Amino acid sequence: MSKNHSFTFITRSAPYGNNRPHLCLDTALAASVFEQQVNYVFMEDGVYQLLKHQDADSINSKTLGSALETLDLYGIKNVYVFANSMKERNLYLEDLVISAKLISNGELKTILSDSNTVFNL
């Protein structure tokens, strides 16, 4: 695989209803370890993964909000949240556990068309 291969991961599920968010994160971190260009996009209920003050001990799960802080440690800087999904849920950037860039439909289209591979979980 070439060094310039770029991946976009779209995560669209709330953090604890199923394990898709964890799978998506693990796959993205693995891609990043192999020095691939990674974009990470939170969309629909996926934006709920970023809410502050999560504590999944109460439901015997791993807190996803804190796990997402590892995106930065793995060098994944291109973290996006889909603006419409935030608006629909009355969420603002200051509600989120990490800093992310709000993107519109148009920007999402550009990100996808510029990517070699898109994972949609």
| The only residue of 2, 4, 58, 99 in contact with another protein, by rule CB under 8 A | 58
Q: Which of 48, 80, 82, 119 binds another protein (CB under 8 A)?
A: 48
Tokens 């950037």 belong to 93
Q: Is 74 in the site for another protein (CB under 8 A)?
A: no
Tell me how far apart the alpha carbons of residues 53 and 51 are, in angstroms, rounded to a whole number.
Answer: 7
Number of Cβ within 10 Å of residue 31's Cβ equals 21
Contacting residue, 45, 83, 98, 115, with another protein by CB under 8 A = 45
Q: Exposure of 25 by Cβ count < 10 A (0-12 exposed, 13-18 middle, 19+ buried)?
A: buried
Binding interface with another protein (CB under 8 A): 14-17, 44-45, 48, 51-59, 61, 63, 65, 89-90
